[in-house]
């Protein structure tokens, strides 16, 4: 999973930094309200790992010091947020108004671009289970509340 992000960072450094040196930071628009939906969807996908926190939090309730867990989660999410801001900022400054919805589409065809695209596709494919986990937990809780077991019922 994390290796996918290393490919993206490597490709951004390889292709974005020379472009930034060539053209500088021109034609930047700080806020475009029409793109808010795209931004929000991508931001939600970026932090989809929050679903893994639910079972870990349930297990941590039995520990003597659950505040350690909270410190780890906060530090992890702050670190991830900083990386996302850094990569997004460098990508936008390097490509300006030509920035594609997915930064991978700005990179030229190459082995690094292919590896990056395929690793991201694999990560999205295999992270579906993590994304659906919170929905499963909520639906399971609702079903158990609505249809409690042990009610007799059969003949």
38 domain-assigned: no
For position 93, what pLDDT does the model report?
A: 86
Percent of the chain with pLDDT over 90: 6
Tell me the three state secondary structure of residue 25: coil
Q: How far apart are CA 123 and CA 117, in angstroms?
A: 10
For position 109, what pLDDT does the model report?
A: 94
> Who wins on pLDDT, 46 or 121?
121
For position 152, what pLDDT does the model report?
A: 47
154 domain-assigned: no
How many degrees, rounded to 5, is the angle at CA 18 between CA 124 and CA 96? Answer: 65
The residue count of the chain comes to 155
58 domain-assigned: yes
Which whole number is the average pLDDT over 60-72? 77
Give the dihedral sign, CA 135/140/145/147.
positive
Tokens 């589409």 sit on residue: 105
133 domain-assigned: no
Residue 1 — very low, low, confident or very high, per pLDDT cuts 50/70/90?
A: low
Domain count, the chain: 1
For position 155, what pLDDT does the model report?
A: 44
Q: How far apart are CA 23 and CA 25, in angstroms?
A: 7
139 domain-assigned: no
134 domain-assigned: no
Token representation of residue 42:
């991508």
Say whether pLDDT at 81 is over 50.
yes
Say whether pLDDT at 88 is over 60.
yes
Greatest C-alpha distance within the chain: 79
81 domain-assigned: yes
Residue 108 — very low, low, confident or very high, per pLDDT cuts 50/70/90?
A: very high
pTM of the model: 0.62
Q: Please write the tens of the pLDDT for every residue from 122-155.
A: 888 887 777 777 778 788 889 999 988 755 444 4
Q: Please write the tens of the pLDDT for every residue from 34-59.
A: 878 877 777 777 666 666 677 777 77
For position 110, what pLDDT does the model report?
A: 94
Domain coverage including residue 20: 2-25+47-128
35 domain-assigned: no
């Amino acid at each position: 999973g994390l290796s996918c992000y290393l490919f993206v960072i490597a490709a951004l450094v390889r292709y974005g930094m020379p472009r930034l040196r060539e053209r500088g930071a021109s034609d930047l628009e700080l806020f475009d309200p029409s793109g808010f939906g795209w931004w929000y969807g991508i931001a939600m996908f970026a932090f989809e790992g929050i679903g893994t926190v639910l079972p870990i939090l349930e297990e941590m309730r039995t520990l003597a010091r659950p505040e350690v867990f909270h410190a780890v989660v906060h530090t992890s999410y702050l670190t991830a947020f900083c990386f996302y801001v850094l990569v997004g900022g460098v990508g936008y400054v390097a490509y300006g108004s030509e920035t594609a919805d997915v930064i991978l589409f700005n990179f030229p065809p190459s082995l690094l671009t292919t590896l990056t695209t395929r690793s991201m596709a694999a990560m999205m494919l295999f992270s579906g289970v993590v994304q659906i986990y919170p929905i499963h937990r909520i639906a399971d809780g609702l079903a158990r509340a609505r249809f409690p077991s042990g009610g007799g019922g059969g003949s």
